[in-house]
């Protein structure tokens, strides 16, 4: 057993509650901009939606398993990578789809569907791939309670989603007043909580960062490339491909941290991978959105 497999990240119960609340508020804020009629986009763009869902919950875990098999990271880091791949797309993906001139309606539809499916798919995906790829005493020591994990995801993502849609439909004036400041406030709260947790565990990160950074960079690159290529194979429109690529490469790492601290005793390797992914995918999401936006502008100039 490598030392990082036995490291435990310091993260007390109060901060875990705040992290749960922050994620719920972020999901609620995203849902405020969603109308019930937006669900019709699912039927208007069946190919794009199907591609995005398969890319997130099937293609990305498969690519992650292959990468782990090739790179052979230590068990706790591999488990962190599998957990990230099993999580639904991150909420900031809608913003990056907008910046990249993608299909924002498709991005929102995928966020909704992935959040609904996550309560069932995420724990089972993690359990399946952790047993297939990381069969070690460490995985055997974890008692993966898929029902409890599913319930946690349901309360953090699904309930706020429906509440946000309901408030947006029934209280439009209140929604217009709070949705923008709520987005910034909840995102800032999430960053502060993760930042405080990082600060308390900075020595652990300094000790193991060289094992983590390259894994996250490559893993995130594989996620983005996999989403892009799969969308191309499925013959989606250019704007749909932008959104599918971003939805596949921007994962809900905050949810991953909640699962780690709630069910895996703050395992160091898993937490460091997931926390660093949460930082890096914001950078990579912005960069890839700018690449897509530049490509769209070039195509428009050529068309003229």
Tell me, yes or no, whether 284 lies in a domain.
yes
Tell me, yes or no, whether 291 lies in a domain.
yes
Tell me, yes or no, whether 213 lies in a domain.
yes
Report the pLDDT value the prediction gives residue 1, as an integer from 0 to 100.
Answer: 45
Tell me, yes or no, whether 228 lies in a domain.
yes
CA distance 52 to 108: 11
CA distance 11 to 200: 8
CA distance 210 to 220: 16
**Nearest by Cα to 164 from 25, 11, 280:** 25
Distance of CA 197 to the CA centre of its chain: 19
Report the pLDDT value the prediction gives residue 82, as an integer from 0 to 100.
Answer: 94
Altogether, the residues listed in the chain come to a count of 304
Tell me, yes or no, whether 1 lies in a domain.
no
Report the pLDDT value the prediction gives residue 109, as an integer from 0 to 100.
Answer: 81
Which stretches does DSSP call E strand in 18-59? none
Tell me, yes or no, whether 258 lies in a domain.
yes
Report the pLDDT value the prediction gives residue 166, as an integer from 0 to 100.
Answer: 85
3-state helix, strand, coil in the chain (%, to 5): 85, 0, 15
pLDDT 10s per residue in the chain (304 long)?
Answer: 456 666 666 666 666 677 777 778 877 877 777 766 666 666 676 888 999 999 999 999 999 999 999 998 888 889 999 999 999 887 778 778 888 888 877 887 888 888 888 888 888 898 889 888 876 665 555 556 667 777 777 887 788 888 888 888 888 888 888 877 877 777 777 677 677 666 667 777 777 778 888 999 999 999 999 999 999 999 998 889 999 999 999 988 888 888 888 888 778 888 888 888 888 888 898 899 999 988 877 655 554 4
The CATH number of residue 67's host domain is 1.20.1530.20
Tell me, yes or no, whether 2 lies in a domain.
no
Provide CB contacts within 8 A for 164, sequence distance 6+. 27, 28, 29, 30, 31, 32, 34
Tell me, yes or no, whether 4 lies in a domain.
no
The total number of structural domains that make up the chain: 1
Domain range holding 58? 10-303
CA distance 82 to 244: 20
Report the pLDDT value the prediction gives residue 173, as an integer from 0 to 100.
Answer: 84
């Amino acid at each position: 057993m490598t030392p990082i497999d036995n490291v435990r990240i310091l993260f007390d119960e109060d901060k875990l509650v705040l992290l749960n609340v922050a994620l719920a508020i972020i999901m609620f804020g995203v849902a405020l901009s969603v109308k019930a009629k937006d669900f019709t986009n699912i039927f208007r763009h069946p190919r794009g939606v199907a591609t995005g869902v398969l890319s997130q919950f099937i293609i990305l875990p498969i690519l992650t398993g292959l990468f782990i098999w090739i790179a052979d990271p230590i068990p706790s880091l591999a488990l962190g990578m599998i957990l990230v791949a099993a999580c639904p797309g991150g909420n900031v993906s809608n913003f990056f789809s907008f910046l990249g001139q993608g299909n924002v309606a498709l991005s929102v539809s995928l966020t909704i569907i992935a959040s609904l499916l996550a309560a069932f798919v995420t724990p089972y995906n993690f359990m399946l791939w952790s047993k297939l790829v990381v069969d070690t005493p460490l995985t055997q020591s974890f008692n993966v309670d898929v029902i409890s994990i599913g319930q946690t995801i349901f309360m953090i993502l699904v309930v706020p989603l429906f509440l946000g849609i309901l408030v947006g439909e029934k209280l439009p004036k209140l929604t217009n007043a709070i949705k923008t400041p709520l987005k910034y406030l909840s995102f800032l709260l999430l960053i502060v909580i993760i930042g405080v947790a990082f600060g308390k565990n900075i020595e652990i990160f300094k000790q193991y960062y060289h094992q983590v950074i390259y894994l996250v960079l490559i893993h995130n690159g594989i996620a983005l490339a996999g989403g892009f290529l799969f969308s191309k194979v499925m013959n989606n429109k250019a704007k749909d491909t932008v959104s599918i690529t971003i939805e596949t490469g921007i994962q809900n790492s905050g949810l991953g941290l909640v699962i780690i601290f709630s069910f895996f005793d703050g395992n160091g390797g898993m937490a460091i991978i997931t926390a660093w992914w949460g930082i890096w995918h914001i950078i990579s999401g912005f960069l890839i959105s700018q690449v897509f936006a530049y490509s769209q502008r070039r195509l428009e100039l050529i068309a003229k």
